[in-house]
Amino acid sequence: MSDWCADEHEPLAIDRGQGVHVYDTNGNGYIDGNSSIWTNVHGHSHPVIDSAIREQLEKIAHCSFLGTTNEPAILLAEKLVGLFPPATLGRVFFSDDGSTAIECALKMAIQYFQLTGDMQRHQFIAFQGAYHGDTMGASALGKISAFHKRFESFGMPVCHLEQTTQLQGIDGEKVIAIVIEPLVQGAAGIRLWPSGMLKELRHWCDENGVLLIFDEVMTGFGRTGKMFACEHEEVMPDLMALAKGLTGGYLPLAATLCTASIYEAFLGGPERTFYYGHSYSGNPLGCAAALANLRVFEDEDTLEKLPSKVDHLAGGLKSLAEGNPHVAEVRQCGMVSGIELAGGDGMLGARCCIAARKHGLLTRSIGDTVVFLPPLVISPAEIDEALRALERGISEARGQSLPA
């Protein structure tokens, strides 16, 4: 805050957006290179999503989801379930954001074992480098020093693993659930998991009666090249958290999906009730935006157009890294990418991002890794433009400027 509030600091105030571009209050345009923190999918001011929200607003903005329901929420739940194979994730529970979607999955998992009489389970398993949100429960699952260290001693019982081989030493009968960001850890700095890992986790969970929770808050809705990251390995979890891209990056809404067998454990008397709800659960405006987001996936063949964009991005990252002494490594999973800078001091990434703004790219870094995670609607030419801006930003931050 002292930097932000310093006299010489000129905050960047974003005023409007159109497609992959956002514009500041001085009228400067930028490619939204981190999809407004990993939320935007089809671009800003998309006519279909805009008008879906307006139409819903003509009817009602919000009404409690406690004891009443609404049409957009019903239709959205049905649509979401339809995105998964039959008899897998058949039930939907709405909340507000990625963190609460995770909280909800954790509480469901805990209560599920209480209701099925399996009382010895008391521990969660998560991973080094994990990020699952900033609320207390989600934060206890996380393991990134800057975010989590100071709260560690206040958290839940969580065992953090580095890799799956460590499961051998774990007493499976004591474990409630394994929680993982499938395929790629986002906040850790775009870190890719080895392939085949989800199958291994599924197998261990099945052998030990442990629930498997996928946090697809960042990876969901096309980011990795398929609708959901778990599709790459054809592994289904027992619970899944969705948020960020759910409304196309328009409004805060989240969903926790679960299997029929988890759902059924909660049926019966009031003592089985899942006492969990937020004031804005099932918000009709958010659900209308999410329905429109899913409609645009179909209307614009968003997923079908991805493979060629993913290839184009791979080519662009390769040429950015090749022969560039300032780039240590590039990592990519679908449209999610990280450019790790060489010889950084932890702030070099941020300096590159600031420098790249002048060349028309707005993005963020995690330490010395610059994240490039654009809206899926981005064109190959815009990918090139963004990477050129980044290349200039890197050179300038390293004290060399490229010829214009």
Least distance to ligand PLP, CB of residue 389, Å: 24
- Near ligand PLP by CB under 6 A: residue from 19, 33, 72, 98: 98
Q: Which of 341/366 has CB closer to ligand PLP?
A: 366
243 contacts ligand PLP (rule: CB under 6 A): yes
**Residues 189, 72: Cα–Cα separation, whole Å:** 35
132 contacts ligand PLP (rule: CB under 6 A): yes
Least distance to ligand PLP, CB of residue 131, Å: 6
281 contacts ligand PLP (rule: CB under 6 A): no
CB 111 within 8 Å of CB 263:
no
Pairing type for strands 175-180 and 211-215 reads parallel
Binding track, positions 317-346, relative to ligand PLP; x by CB under 6 A = ------------------------------
The dihedral through the CA atoms of 29, 34, 256, 99 has a sign that is negative
Helix 306-321 and helix 380-397, axial crossing angle in degrees, nearest 10: 20
133 contacts ligand PLP (rule: CB under 6 A): yes
Least distance to ligand PLP, CB of residue 99, Å: 3
Site for ligand PLP in 172-201 (CB under 6 A): 181, 186-187
Binding track, positions 99-118, relative to ligand PLP; x by CB under 6 A = x--x----------------
CA torsion angle 200 206 210 212 (round to 10): 50
Please report the DSSP string for 61-119 in residue order. S----SS---HHHHHHHHHHHTTS-TTSEEEEEEESSHHHHHHHHHHHHHHHHHHTT-T
142 contacts ligand PLP (rule: CB under 6 A): no
Size of the site for ligand PLP (CB under 6 A): 15
Q: Which of 218/383 has CB closer to ligand PLP?
A: 218
- Near ligand PLP by CB under 6 A: residue from 22, 40, 84, 97: 97
**Is residue 215 helix, strand or coil?**
strand
The dihedral through the CA atoms of 12, 350, 221, 136 has a sign that is negative
217 contacts ligand PLP (rule: CB under 6 A): yes
CB 187 within 8 Å of CB 366:
yes
Pairing type for strands 327-333 and 175-180 reads unpaired
Q: Which of 255/320 has CB closer to ligand PLP?
A: 255
Q: Please enumerate in sequence order all residues whose Cβ is within 8 A of that of 237, keeping only pairs 6 or more positions apart, or say none.
A: 89, 202, 211, 212, 213, 214, 230
Binding track, positions 349-388, relative to ligand PLP; x by CB under 6 A = ----------------------------------------
Least distance to ligand PLP, CB of residue 252, Å: 7
CA torsion angle 314 320 322 328 (round to 10): -100
Least distance to ligand PLP, CB of residue 219, Å: 7
Least distance to ligand PLP, CB of residue 218, Å: 3
For residue 172, count other CB atoms closer than 10 A to its CB.
Answer: 15
Looking at 127-135, 192-200, 298-306, 341-349, which segment touches ligand PLP (CB under 6 A)? 127-135
Q: Which of 320/372 has CB closer to ligand PLP?
A: 372
Residues within the interface to ligand PLP (CB under 6 A): 97-99, 102, 131-133, 181, 186-187, 215, 217-218, 243-244
